[in-house]
Copies of this chain bind each other. A is one copy, B any other.
Amino acid sequence: MGMVGGGRGAFIGGVHRIAAAIDQQIELVCGAFSSNPEKSRLSGEDFYLPTDRVYGSYEEMILKEKELPLGERMDFISIVTPNHVHFGPAKMALENGFHVVCDKPVTFNVDEAEILVKLVEETGLIFALTHNYTGYPMVKQARNMVKNGRIGKVRKIVVEYPQGWLATKVEDTDQKQASWRTDPAKSGMGGAMGDIGTHAENLAEYITDLKITEVCAELTSFVEGRRLDDDANILLRFEEGARGVLHCSQIAVGEENGLNIRVWGETGGLEWHQMRPNTLIVKQLEGPNVHYRTGVGNLSDAANHAQRIPAGHPEGYLEAFANIYKNVAACIQHRLAGTQPTKLERDFPNVKDGLRGMRFVEKVVENSRGTEKWTKL
């Protein structure tokens, strides 16, 4: 693995490195950790990399690594930069034969995402997008239950993602995470929408296997002077007549990272909360609520494949994140070995999910600014 971004002071880069390390199948072999070459070099030292594998730019990394013999050179790049620096390295990596793991949202805008989709199709390379919340075992269990008819035809979906960390104008302080996320030049047209709204959209579609077809939205920038939305309330229409609500916020004071989803079908319901990730509540037409738990031994293969330890030993965010890397590693190993990955191993978000996310943000912003009630996706 070669990393783009994630040098000293970054947040999500460290998460990717831990996630890649957990299952001991992936080694960080090189990186272009910062657009500042000195910072990149120092970061390389932090990770015990030889100096000649620490590069001053992703361009340099891709070209130099390509010259190394197979088996020695990086197998894929991991892109952990702000949104506006996803497209460049992703495109160049694909064009030079490297697989890609990319943080979300996939690109800065829809056009870029469409180019990447095409490139992935043409090259046949692996492209994983870290919509990490779908990596949780109980999310996979939920998807599996919906698919198996456990709750009947889906009627209603409520997905929420409240956070509170941008309730004040943090971007005016020294907070690096806040400053690029609230800057349209770096984040794209969505603020909270791009940062967390896409996670919520992806989660809802992943679990139900239903696409959102229309949106009716109100985006707000509550904090004075903020240039992007920090709050979103959206009515959703899904395929097959399902209806829904998505609301997310970064001004919900006191909320940590409260992604959660409820799905109700004709004969049952499901409820999952990211902050209590090892429990899935299953609701029934007749009879009491049932609390499914990771590790207990009555779960689907998809859930079992995504957990490492027995019941009652909580797995969390990093393990869910690692599930993407684990599957990417397995798929790359299969490529190298000339074998086929299983369906479970191929289960990670990809470039098309990325494109859907970009379109979702675009349409939500468009609807919110306009007067028409429903905007089609």
Residues of A participating in the B interface, judged by any CB pair closer than 8 Å: 11, 14-15, 17-18, 21-24, 28, 47, 151, 155-156, 158, 160, 162-165, 167-168, 216, 218, 220, 222, 231, 233, 235, 237, 243-245, 247, 249, 251-258, 262, 264-269, 274-278, 282-293, 295-298, 308-319, 371-373
A247 close to B310 (CB less than 8 A) = no
Pairs A–B under 8 Å by Cβ, sample size 19? A18-B24, A156-B222, A158-B160, A164-B285, A165-B310, A218-B243, A231-B243, A233-B244, A233-B245, A253-B283, A254-B268, A256-B312, A277-B314, A286-B298, A308-B318, A313-B318, A314-B316, A314-B317, A371-B373
CA–CA, A306 and B154, complex, Å: 36
Q: How many copies does the complex hold?
A: 4
Q: A256 vs B293: C-alpha distance in the bound complex, in angstroms?
A: 9
Q: Is A309 a contact of B313 with CB atoms below 8 Å?
A: no
Residues of B within 8 A of A21 (CB): 21-22, 24
A356→B32 CA distance, assembly (Å): 49
Given contacts A17-B24, A288-B291, A290-B290, contact A257 B163 (CB under 8 A): no
Q: A24-B21, A288-B298, A319-B318 are in contact. Are A253 and B264 (CB under 8 A)?
A: yes
With A251-B264, A291-B289 in contact, is A315–B312 under 8 Å at CB? no
A18 touches B23 (CB 8 A): yes
A324 to B310, CA, bound (A): 20
A216 neighbours in B (Cβ, 8 Å) = 216, 218, 235, 373
Q: Given the complex, which residues of B lie within 8 Å of A257, measured CB to CB?
A: 310-313
- Chain B residues within an 8 Å CB radius of A264: 162, 164, 167, 249, 251-255
- State whether B312 touches A258 (Cβ < 8 A): yes
Cβ–Cβ contact A253 & B373, under 8 A: no
A273 vs B364: C-alpha distance in the bound complex, in angstroms? 30
CA distance A236 to B306 in the complex (A): 39
Find chain B residues with CB under 8 A from A291 CB: 288-291
A313 shortest CB reach to chain B, Å: 4
Determine the distance from Cα of A289 to Cα of B162 in the docked complex, in whole angstroms.
15
B315 engages A309 (CB within 8 Å): no
CA distance A282 to B216 in the complex (A): 31
- Looking at A283, A371, A373, the one whose CB has the most chain B CB atoms below 10 A away is A373
Decide if A254 touches B284 in the complex (CB within 8 Å).
yes
